[in-house]
Amino acid sequence: MKTSKIKSGVEYFIVPADYEGQRIDNFLLNRLKGMPKSRVYRIVRKGEVRVNKKRVNVYYRLIAGDNIRLPPVFLAETAKQAPPSKNTSALLVERVLYEDENLLIINKPSGMSVHAGTTVRVGVIEALRYLYPKLPHLELAHRLDSETSGCLVLAKKKRILRELHTLLREGKVSKIYVALTLGKWKDSELKVDLPLHKDYQDGGKHVVEVHDKGKSALTVFHTIKSYKRLASFMEVKLYTGRTHQIRVHAQHQGHPIAGDDRYGDVEFNKMVRNMGLKRMFLHAKSIDFTLPSLAQRITVEAPLDADLKEVIKAFERGVYEQ
């Protein structure tokens, strides 16, 4: 990538073919390692980042030859990224589900953000880059919410990352989750096809809601087991990858996810906390895709964490009746 600087500290980047198709926010997060995600979003919204002298939004996808203007950054801030703790490193190593020369797939722990941010010292990607210093191009292929556990895919090479992004955009990656939700669903299987709109607020925070002006989002919920009318253990298949998609679609149907502090039900959350649930009950159970360039099919499943198993056992025993 060609880079040039002027006296004001502004930097310009000419996008090579390898980066074509990558979203501008992902590019910036990689380029400015250690910078909070909220700040990256803010400088894009304010027009401090420009592409070919024009403003863009965070969803803009790079084109080979694009000229990106990046405002002066405090190198000390981006360079002082602290290494992960020994406990974090050991945890991530233990939770590697699959690895080859192109891919790394982990069972992401609940409570760990995928990126560092204003209130997050080290995220999954920063910790793994520290653990894999010989993999300079290690990148997240997609994201999971902080409280969601399960299958998280990282690419070791740019061309594999581009290929994964194409598969994700074309709906050729099968992603299945499990969740514990409030109440008993009327239908054993329900297709929820409702658009979602993400409203960015100050500080990079956002609120997602079902809205006619939103982007298409398709989720299929299948009941594994219901516990009277109090709760249901659900299998969830994602056909699109919108932010908070499962959480918002479940809440919109009147069946919010257990332990969800943003879209959940206060009384239901209190009940499951009394049963020992300290987190949101949403787990990325499996992922399945084929890399066309290698004719290689990847199928990985992440086991349910012990704390989630205990909650299910409690419902099986009827502890909720006490």
| DSSP assignment string, 205-262 | -EEEEE-TTSB--EEEEEEEEEETTTEEEEEEEESS--TTHHHHHHHHTT-PBTT-TT
**Given 164, 183, 207, which residue is the final one in a domain?**
164
- CA separation for the pair 275, 242 (Å, rounded): 30
- CA separation for the pair 47, 69 (Å, rounded): 10
Whether 78 is covered by a domain: the verdict is no
Answer yes or no: do 294 and 184 share one domain.
Answer: yes
Alpha-helix runs per DSSP H in the chain: 24-31, 37-45, 75-79, 86-94, 124-131, 158-169, 245-252, 266-274, 306-317
Specify the 3-state DSSP secondary structure of 57.
Answer: coil
Answer yes or no: do 208 and 175 share one domain.
Answer: yes
Query: 175 has which bridge partners?
Result: 238, 287
- Give the residue from 154, 163, 100 showing the smallest Cα distance to 127: 154
Predicted local confidence at residue 117, as pLDDT:
62
Answer yes or no: do 293 and 194 share one domain.
Answer: yes
Whether 290 is covered by a domain: the verdict is yes
Predicted local confidence at residue 89, as pLDDT:
92
The letter for the amino acid at 287 is: I
Answer yes or no: do 241 and 99 share one domain.
Answer: no
Predicted local confidence at residue 9, as pLDDT:
59
Whether 81 is covered by a domain: the verdict is no
41, 204 Cβ separation under 8 angstroms: yes
Answer yes or no: do 208 and 304 share one domain.
Answer: yes
**CA-atom Rg of the chain in angstroms:** 21
Q: Which two tokens stand for residue 293?
A: 């360039």
**Given 39, 72, 105, which residue is the final one in a domain?**
72
Active site residues: 145
Answer yes or no: do 197 and 269 share one domain.
Answer: yes
- The H or E element containing residue 69 is strand 67-70
Whether 140 is covered by a domain: the verdict is yes
Placement of tokens 């409203």 in the chain: 199
Specify the 3-state DSSP secondary structure of 290.
Answer: strand
Predicted local confidence at residue 200, as pLDDT:
60
Answer yes or no: do 183 and 99 share one domain.
Answer: no
DSSP label of 98: E
Predicted local confidence at residue 73, as pLDDT:
61
Domain range holding 23? 2-72
- CA separation for the pair 219, 244 (Å, rounded): 11
What are the backbone dihedrals phi and psi of residue 188, each rounded to the nearest 5 degrees, phi first? Answer: -65, -25
**Given 132, 164, 196, which residue is the final one in a domain?**
164
Count of the separate structural domains present in the chain: 3
Q: For 184, how many CA atoms within 13 A lie in the half-sphere containing its CB?
A: 7
Answer yes or no: do 100 and 239 share one domain.
Answer: no
Is residue 231 exposed (0-12), middle (13-18) or buried (19+ Cβ within 10 Å)?
A: buried
9 conformational bin, left if phi > 0, alpha if psi -120 to 50, beta if neither: left
Give the CATH number, domain containing residue 232. Answer: 3.30.2350.10
Whether 37 is covered by a domain: the verdict is yes
pLDDT in tens, the chain (322 residues): 444 444 455 777 778 666 777 889 888 877 765 677 888 888 899 999 999 999 999 999 998 788 898 887 633 344 456 788 899 999 999 999 999 999 999 999 999 998 776 566 788 998 999 899 888 788 899 989 999 999 999 999 989 998 998 999 899 999 999 999 999 999 989 999 999 987 765 444 677 999 998 889 999 999 999 998 899 999 999 999 888 999 999 999 999 999 999 999 999 999 999 999 999 999 999 999 999 999 999 999 999 999 999 999 999 988 654 3
